[in-house]
């Protein structure tokens, strides 16, 4: 929480107003420190309940495996989204009875599919291929 309270040292300032501003700033600092300590204690309790002995570091093999899993998961979520879009387009085409209609088929299905393929390629480069 950022306060816009600053201690002014102009001719209008008095000791009482400076002390009051200082007390307000100190109380905000103490509140933030208490909140930080409560968060640290909550984390320690959770680590104890989950039997976490040592926290992960970036060099830890379990951390690296979890990171690879998350990248693969993001990539597969992107592929699932593309699959849903293709199936949706096929249902739209079957509803409109336009299956096998040459140019219309190309403009309605393949062009969006190519655009979607470009999006998948971008996602693959973004998330890293599994």
The pLDDT value given to residue 87: 82
Q: Are 130 and 75 in contact (CB under 8 A)?
A: yes
Write the pLDDT tens digit of every residue in 54-107.
888 889 898 899 888 988 888 888 888 888 888 887 777 777 766 555 555 556
Name the residue ranges covered by the structural domains of the chain: 1-55, 61-127
What own/partner pairs with CB < 8 Å and gap ≥ 24 does 83-92 have? Answer: 85/112, 85/116, 86/113, 86/116, 89/113
If you average pLDDT over every residue of the chain, what do you get?
78
The pLDDT value given to residue 35: 96
- 1 contacts: CB under 8 Å, gap ≥ 6: 28, 32
| pLDDT score of 25 more than 80 | yes
């Amino acid at each position: 929480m950022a306060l816009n309270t600053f201690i002014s040292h102009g001719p209008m300032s008095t000791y009482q107003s400076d002390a009051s501003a200082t007390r307000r700033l100190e109380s905000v600092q103490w509140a933030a420190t208490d909140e930080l300590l409560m968060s640290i204690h909550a984390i320690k309790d959770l680590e104890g309940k989950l039997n976490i002995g040592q926290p992960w570091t970036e060099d830890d093999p379990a951390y690296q495996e979890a990171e690879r899993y998350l990248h693969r998961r993001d990539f597969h979520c992107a592929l699932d989204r593309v699959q849903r879009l293709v199936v949706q387009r096929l249902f739209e085409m079957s509803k409109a009875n336009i299956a096998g209609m040459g140019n219309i088929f190309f403009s309605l299905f393949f062009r969006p599919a190519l655009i979607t393929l470009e999006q998948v390629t971008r996602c693959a480069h973004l998330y890293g291929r599994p």
